[in-house]
Amino acid sequence: MRLLSSVLVLCCLLLLSSCEKMPATQLQQIKAQEVIRIGTLVGPATFYQGIGGEQGFEYELAEQFASELGVELQMVPFFSLKKLFERLQSGDLDMAAAGLSYHPQRAAHFRFGPSYREISQKLVFKQGNTRPRNFAQLTGPVTVLADSHHVISLQLAQKQYPELSWQTVDDRDQEELLQGIIDGDIQYTVVDSHSLALFRRYHPNVSIAFSITQADPVSWVLRNENDDSLYALLPPFFAKMQQSQQLAALEEKYFGHVRRFNYVNTLAFVEASKTTLPKYQDWFMQYAEQHQLDWRLLAALSYQESMWNPRAKSPTGVRGIMMLTQRTAKQVGVTHRLKPEQNIRGGARYLRKLINRIPKQIGAPDRTWFALAAYNVGWGHVNDARKLTMRQGGSPTSWAEVKKRLPLLTKKRYYRETKYGYARGDVAVTYVDNIRRYYDALIWLDENGALQVNTDSEQPAQ
């Protein structure tokens, strides 16, 4: 009996000793350090430093994942894919969240998580040059980022087009390559669809020649090793994000307003921001500050309404640079709607009133988008769409959800059950999307020193 007990004790000691020598899993290490290190690429489609701090689609998604783990997020930005992959492979990062698309060649070296969105690859050139319809019609090399999926796509295309040539760069990011197209330094490049859509908000002269791929699945990337501890958490996390509509809300926040692109409209806006906006910029800044608004938002709203034309009129009776109705003008103290300073002052006051009217449970930036929709179609109709959203199982506090239901107010089977009835909700959705694009463009132009205040601002008529 004593011998059996001694053997059992010895086995337990050996088991404990072997357990102590077993290395901690990746998840255990993250939990112990209370921080997860996620690498990303710097850019408007992934991660950037905004006025309110760190922002970006991948950043917010990673922040949510870190919150689920109960650890701190440390986002590590990179300007080079090569360096990002090197740091991931070395174990210095836990994973990469950088809008990376899956391909079997990449999967041989790294482990891809579940796909959470799709993108396509576009070959682009400068507007005004001859448009190539396929690789055979290229008149020069393609410049792409080193170690990108674009290189893989070109390698595959070269099997069909042996004359295809390209050069890779590691000292520029995607936006710099696109800027190279504008400047004429680069003839062609390949860009992901979402990055291109964001760039063309303020640079419409980049044109699409043709699509190279149609639906590349995008995933987070981990080291290719036998440790499943962290990887196993990704499928349920993304399933939860999809089911709760949080993923859709993020998609709407960063990309929902850039799906439509109109070359002529965007070119006209960029030109007007340099020639017409300076006449009124002081007033936009003055009255936006007075009502705690971003002046660039107020200016974007004005451009959507009147294209910054102080004498604009519509058949329905709205007038001026902010296109105020007679009733609204009276409410906000405007006595002469065709005087631009008065109209801007009244528009700023009215927008602030609308924002203040939005229910407190609706957070930023959605409350701003709701207010803009109300500026166009009226709060009563917007609230009808919110109630319709709730009846259909969506969240009435989410712009992404209500945006889907606003167009239903044009259909009798839906609007007959609402308080305010028929409304052009589809127009309101386009209206908000347009303003958001103009707003984004003004932010970029302003922060890059492309906007100048005209000290000889137009004075209101006496």
179 with 88, same domain: the answer is: no
Q: What pLDDT is stored for residue 453 in this prediction?
A: 57
Q: What pLDDT is stored for residue 455 in this prediction?
A: 46
Pairing of strands 53-55, 48-50: antiparallel
Q: Are 124 and 199 in contact (CB under 8 A)?
A: no
In this structure, what CATH number is given to the domain that contains residue 174? 3.40.190.10
183 with 298, same domain: the answer is: no
List phi, psi (to 5°) of 100. Answer: -85, 130
Q: Which of 252, 305, 341, 401 is catalytic?
A: 305
152 with 300, same domain: the answer is: no
108 with 132, same domain: the answer is: no
Q: Is 72 considered catalytic here?
A: no
Q: What pLDDT is stored for residue 457 in this prediction?
A: 43
In this structure, what CATH number is given to the domain that contains residue 419? 1.10.530.10
As for how many domains the chain has, the answer is 3
Mean pLDDT by 10 residues, the chain (462 residues): 50 51 85 96 86 86 96 93 92 95 90 94 95 95 93 95 94 89 94 90 90 94 93 96 90 82 81 94 96 97 95 86 93 93 96 96 94 95 96 94 94 91 92 94 88 54 36
Residue 15, in any domain of the structure = no
Residue 14, in any domain of the structure = no
Q: Which run of H or of E encompasses 144?
A: strand 142-145
388 with 241, same domain: the answer is: no
Domain extent, residue 391, equals: 263-448
Q: What pLDDT is stored for residue 258 in this prediction?
A: 75
Q: Which of 315, 311, 353 is nearest to 333 (CA)?
A: 353
Residue 7, in any domain of the structure = no
Grouping H, G, I as helix, E, B as strand and the rest as coil, residue 88 is helix
304 with 437, same domain: the answer is: yes
CA distance 369 to 364: 9
Grouping H, G, I as helix, E, B as strand and the rest as coil, residue 422 is coil
CA distance 380 to 16: 68
Residue 1, in any domain of the structure = no
Tokens of 352: 């602030």
- Last residue of one domain, picked from the residues 189, 214, 239: 214
70 with 152, same domain: the answer is: no
CA distance 121 to 156: 13
246 with 287, same domain: the answer is: no
